[in-house]
Amino acid sequence: MKKVSLLAPGPTPVPPRTLLAMAQPLIHHRSSDFLEIFGRVREGLKKIFKTNNDVLVFCSSGTGAMESAVANLLSPGDKAIAIRGGKFGERWTEILEAYGCQAVNLDVEWGYAVKPEDVAALLKADPSIKAVYVQALETSTGVAHPIKELAQVTKDTGAVLVVDAVSALGVYDIPTDEWGLDVVISGSQKALMLPPGLAFASIGPKALEMMKTSKCPKFYFSWAKELKNQGANKGTFTSPVTLFMGLLDIFELIDEMGLDNIYKETEIKSKAFKAAMAALGLELYSKENASTGLSAVEAPAGIDAQDVVGWLKNKYAIFIAGGQAQAKGKIFRVAHMGYISEFDTLQAISAIEMALAGLGYKFEMGSGVAAAQKIFGEA
Ligand SMILES: *Cc1c(COP(=O)(O)O)cnc(C)c1O
């Protein structure tokens, strides 16, 4: 069996010490020990989200918390803007429609960031719009949307801003309270370095007000119920005890590193990887606001990006991601977030070079690795 390398934008590798923390004997989710753990989880999340708002925890993948931000804010027939600059943006529309809400689709060309003035114009033209749904980092294109500026746009309107930061929280600074973000969503399996299975939603005052009049159906993902119970350090249903133990270890790890250092290290890995791709003559798919959390790279003309992804998987057990929908076959994506080291990054570059050479692309072998080494050497 080959050693598996997880270098796709989720799930990312889990640090060994965190795996050990999750090997502790199970305790009961209604025990006083677990209540204490729940309290520490709530406090720790506030630090990472940089908020005094409640941050609810759900036992689901990130999409569960996204769904909760439609079900708990809106009523059937309500209008909401879905910023669609990629696959995850499209998910907002699907959720809105599943709940009988009207999606006002703001389509952004894939590879580009939304223009805040376009959102402002839509809100001005129709004051009945109740919410704006966006990704901080649109993982399918590698583009970071301008969240701080969007919050300026929604601030003095009746609309709430809901930010899917599943692939952005812990990657770069997203200060929830300072920027006035009404709802911020995240998940366990990206920069938070845990297995999949936890989703989070921070809920600000404006969102709490809107919640009171929401008539969409909800049961498992009811914010009102969870606010009451989690406010008393209890899950409404059986909590994922093991993942909570892992999360406590992640908090310690993040404290030791410091969030700012984590952002910085992610940035260096991203810079080195992007320099390597440029040295190989490859272009980024993200034409503006290319994020540090991952790189989305266009395959050279005549080479199917899925073949690069397949080569790495089949020959070396290295998992990177391909493109989704319209970007399928055109791009491959490599993560820099979470527990991924400089040498994991060099490994990915080296493997991509070997795949490209095998697929017939002409370039100087090692030039990508050398470009990245230079940046790591100077960092
Ligand atoms: C990974 C991710 C999600 C969550 O996807 P799940 O498969 O439900 O965990 C949501 N939004 C973005 C931008 C993501 O990258």
- The CATH number given to whatever domain includes residue 373 is 3.90.1150.10
Q: Which of 214, 240, 255 is the last residue of a domain?
A: 255
Same domain, 241 and 358: no
Task: Name the token pair of 76.
Answer: 């059937």
Amino acid code (one letter) for 320: I
CA distance 373 to 233: 47
- Name residue 85's amino acid: G
Do 208 and 85 belong to one domain? yes
Position 3 in a domain: no
82 lines ligand 1 (CB under 6 A): no
pLDDT at position 1: 82
Same domain, 242 and 280: no
285 and 175 part of one domain = no
Q: How far apart are CA 215 and CA 218, in angstroms?
A: 9
Ligand 1 close to Cβ of residue 246 (< 6 A): no
Q: From CA 131, how far away is CA 22, in angstroms rounded?
A: 38
CA of 188 to the centre of ligand 1 (A): 10
The last residue of one of the domains, among 227, 255, 283, is 255
Q: Is there a single domain that holds both residue 235 and residue 315?
A: no
- Whether 11 is in the pocket of ligand 1, judged by its Cβ within 6 Å, is no
- 60 C-beta closer than 6 A to ligand 1: no
Task: Compute the chain's Rg from CA coordinates.
Answer: 21
Name the pTM for this structure.
Answer: 0.98
Same domain, yes or no, for 233 and 154? yes
Distance 375 CA to ligand 1 centre (A): 30
Does residue 66 lie within any of the structural domains? yes
pLDDT for position 270: 98
Ligand 1 atom closest to Cα of residue 64: 8
What pLDDT tens digit does each residue of the chain (379 aa) get?
899 999 999 999 999 999 999 999 999 999 999 999 999 999 999 999 999 999 999 999 999 999 999 999 999 999 999 999 999 999 999 999 999 999 999 999 999 999 999 999 999 999 999 999 999 999 999 999 999 999 999 999 999 999 999 999 999 999 999 999 999 999 999 999 999 999 999 999 999 999 999 999 999 999 999 999 999 999 999 999 999 999 999 999 999 999 999 999 999 999 999 999 999 999 999 999 999 999 999 999 999 999 999 999 999 999 999 999 999 999 999 999 999 999 999 999 999 999 999 999 999 999 999 999 999 999 9
pLDDT value of residue 294: 98
Q: Considering only CA atoms, which residue is closest to atom 11 of ligand 1?
A: 166
Sign of the alpha-carbon torsion through 331, 336, 340, 344: positive
Residue 194, in any domain of the structure: yes
Residues 177 and 286 in one domain: no
Q: Are residues 229 and 280 in the same domain?
A: no
Whether 166 is in the pocket of ligand 1, judged by its Cβ within 6 Å, is yes
Q: Let me know if residue 9 belongs to a domain.
A: no
> Same structural domain for residues 246 and 331?
no
312 and 222 within one domain: no
User: For a pocket test of ligand 1, which of 12, 59, 63 has the largest count of ligand atoms closer than 8 A to its C-beta?
Assistant: 63
* The pLDDT of residue 228: 98
Residue 11 lies in a domain: no
Same domain, 270 and 372: yes
Q: Ligand 1, from 59, 60, 61: best to mutate by most atoms within 8 Å of Cβ? A: 61
The reply to whether ligand 1 has any atom less than 6 angstroms from the CB of 186 is no
Find tokens 């940035």 and name the residue: 267
The residue whose CA has the least distance to atom 4 of ligand 1 is 62
Whether residue 324 contacts residue 9, with contact meaning beta carbons closer than 8 Å, is answered with no
CATH number for the domain that contains residue 140: 3.40.640.10
Domain annotation covers residue 7: no
Residues 216 and 251 in one domain: yes
Residue 10 falls inside a structural domain:
no
Single out the residue in 233, 255, 277 at which a domain terminates: 255
- Please indicate whether residue 135, judged by its CB atom, sits closer than 6 Å to ligand 1: yes
Please state the domain count of the chain.
2
Note down the domain range covering 364: 259-378
Q: Which residue has the tokens 């399996």?
A: 189
Asked whether residue 4 is domain-assigned, the answer is no
